[in-house]
Structure 1
């Protein structure tokens, strides 16, 4: 069996997706000795952080998240400056549909001083004739599209620049206590020692939880974590008669909660050859036990629902997808994240398909929790607020 690496790290971060990369960057920039372990490569294609298109938006019905986006945007600005890469492309965002409640969203943005408009469906259709709006529309121009893969690579690059060690092709199998620290075992028998561990394994987390040397009370206090194999489809932009604009520059991101489907869309960018809009049904994929059980196969029924949606609501697109893919959503019941800690092991799971926009802030929260430098919002620490966990002495 291969021996442990001779030099233990102060902190080992498991997973080089958006959250893990952000945590490694934050820890390394503070001068800590870091090892970043990745089962494949950073922003791996079978994870949740690959590709060029994630929605960046401020509109939430819960003001907590809107304020968190404002805080995150400051960190994105710092990351952009430090990396020299433009990571968010402005596009604006439209929120609409009978279940989306644009007026509530507008009230939250107004309270936080965020620029927005509340448009009638008719006025919105005049502005964006490529979309068949069915209710009034909240528009906020500060939204955009995050290049997830570029962001991961930027944060990993900065972490390595601050002295972090990156090990790729290193798949975590288990963690055991080792004196005052931990020993991490790979699926191929390698080991790495650490004083502190941050596990940011995305859709692989459900399959790992029982092998992380976590107290039973802590595990019992975690919310249920489920994984869905989602599908996304790319539809070509279509020209209009009468001189209406076409192409990505004319398209906002959108979230539409209709009575029969919740859909979202955004310019597909590099993923779509800059030729089309990425459209998907929110949480429309099948449940799987963990990311290890994903097949990469698109569900024909889901494709049919999304194609029907495009035919009904997006006249500016050719309703036949020219590209399609699967991805992973790691969900909690209330769509809150998990950023929690037992002893010196931090569990990090930005969940429910809306974590990308918060990546630098999630990294800051995780680094603060792991080092004791600052608090994490209590809503993300359900496991350390349960009576069983308190009895275990891990509050």
Structure 2
């Protein structure tokens, strides 16, 4: 049995701890603030779970992840994904390709013309045919993190240290790693998993990574996204919609918008939506200011007026969230000399959380690998 140190207690880090501890491995979690805190990418109760990707690999991985989600829900007795279904549309969304992949993989779906879709979902304006897949839904990210950490700790093999800022990861001469904090505290272990999200760019130089591996990493771009909650027009006295809302992705040549029922974050009283990668670029999570810009607010109000007649186009809640992007939006999951990097990023990693934990645990223990596309320096392999 080895001792593993996991840096970052967001979805990916918590999933790694959950998977490792379930295998009887010892784990120490190091979290800069608190698990699923609002300065990271895993806070709140509303993330999209969907199968629709114009890339068969990702759709197949969602199917694998869904089985793990089902197991986690059954084991914990907690609903983590609320089933809402999803609609995909827009002249750049390529719904025919998505439907073709669904046919190949076996994901239940339906394609509707704009008129039929508008009859079913009058709260939207559809400009193209619409792909519907009913098993999509909304992930409660914060609850998921807490459930995975609770399950990990319940094994007796995991502990979580909070307010623990990593300043250095050094290799011990006798083998393994020594991880130091800003306060001088030290944790030692055999393997390290780095799942630091938006803090990763600041940490890279302090991880003791081999120069070849470090140089082969893609460029990480951190964006401070801005999301807006707008109230349902046809709502009951509690603000809840009279008809269910699906999640949606609307991708046109000039704008990529996504949305989902806002969940607990905003009292279940509105739809949460945002422009994908519309936020400003920052150096790392350390540079975020949590500010909403008037330009983005106006843009999303205008979008709602044109495309979401089922909403009152007036934000009643607003929030920021970090996306840590790679150029091709692929994940980076790889291991070098006992250190595992898990950068499940580019704004679409939440739905894969328990599978990412399995990947990280497999790499750390040598039990398995990951898709070649996620490996560092894959183009030269």
**TM-score calculated relative to the size of structure 2:** 0.96
Secondary structure, counterpart of 2:224 in structure 1: strand
Of the candidates 145, 158, 164, which is equivalent to residue 152 of structure 1?
Answer: 145
Q: Aligned-pair distance for 1:300?
A: 1.6
Q: What's 1:23 paired with? A: 16
Q: Aligned-pair distance for 1:249?
A: 5.0
Contact 2:171–2:178, Cα closer than 8 Å, also in 1:
yes
Q: What's 1:53 paired with? A: 46
Q: What's 2:298 paired with? A: 304
Q: What's 1:73 paired with? A: 66
Of the candidates 306, 315, 336, which is equivalent to residue 342 of structure 1?
Answer: 336
Q: After TM superposition, list the pairs within 5 Å mapping 1:326-341 onto structure 2.
A: 326-341=320-335
Moved over 3 A (4+): 383-387
Find the aligned partners of 2:35 and 2:243 in 1 and give their Cα distance.
Answer: 29
Instruction: Say if 2:208 is the partner of 1:187.
Output: no
Contact 1:340–1:383, Cα closer than 8 Å, also in 2:
no
Q: Aligned-pair distance for 1:382?
A: 2.2
Secondary structure, counterpart of 1:382 in structure 2: coil
Find the aligned partners of 2:49 and 2:81 in 1 and give their Cα distance.
Answer: 8
Of the candidates 6, 10, 13, which is equivalent to residue 13 of structure 1?
Answer: 6
Find the aligned partners of 1:167 and 1:384 in 2 and give their Cα distance.
Answer: 34
Q: What's 1:217 paired with? A: 212
Q: What's 1:391 paired with? A: none
* Structure 2 residues not aligned, in runs of 5+: none
Instruction: Say if 2:170 is the partner of 1:176.
Output: yes
Find the aligned partners of 2:348 and 2:300 in 1 and give their Cα distance.
Answer: 20
Of the candidates 226, 230, 241, which is equivalent to residue 231 of structure 1?
Answer: 226
Q: Aligned-pair distance for 1:192?
A: 0.8
Instruction: Say if 2:202 is the partner of 1:207.
Output: yes
Of the candidates 304, 313, 325, which is equivalent to residue 307 of structure 2?
Answer: 313
Deviations along 1:35-79, one digit per CA (max 9) or x if unpaired, are: 011111110111100000000001111010111000000000010
Q: Aligned-pair distance for 1:194?
A: 1.1
Q: After TM superposition, list the pairs within 5 Å mapping 1:247-258 onto structure 2.
A: 247=241, 249-258=243-252
Secondary structure, counterpart of 1:156 in structure 2: helix
Find the aligned partners of 1:338 and 1:310 in 2 and give their Cα distance.
Answer: 34
Q: 1:174 to 1:9 in 2, by over 3 A?
A: farther
Q: 1:216 to 1:248 in 2, by over 3 A?
A: farther
Q: What's 2:264 paired with? A: 270
Q: Aligned-pair distance for 1:384?
A: 6.3
Q: 1:138 to 1:207 in 2, by over 3 A?
A: same
Q: 1:9 to 1:41 in 2, by over 3 A?
A: farther
Contact 2:234–2:242, Cα closer than 8 Å, also in 1:
no
**TM-score calculated relative to the size of structure 1:** 0.93
Find the aligned partners of 1:42 and 1:83 in 2 and give their Cα distance.
Answer: 18
Q: 1:89 to 1:64 in 2, by over 3 A?
A: same
Find the aligned partners of 2:243 and 2:224 in 1 and give their Cα distance.
Answer: 30
Contact 1:218–1:383, Cα closer than 8 Å, also in 2:
yes
* Structure 1 residues not aligned, in runs of 5+: 1-7, 241-245, 388-395
Deviations along 1:131-179, one digit per CA (max 9) or x if unpaired, are: 0011000000010000000100000001111120111111111111112
Contact 1:183–1:192, Cα closer than 8 Å, also in 2:
yes
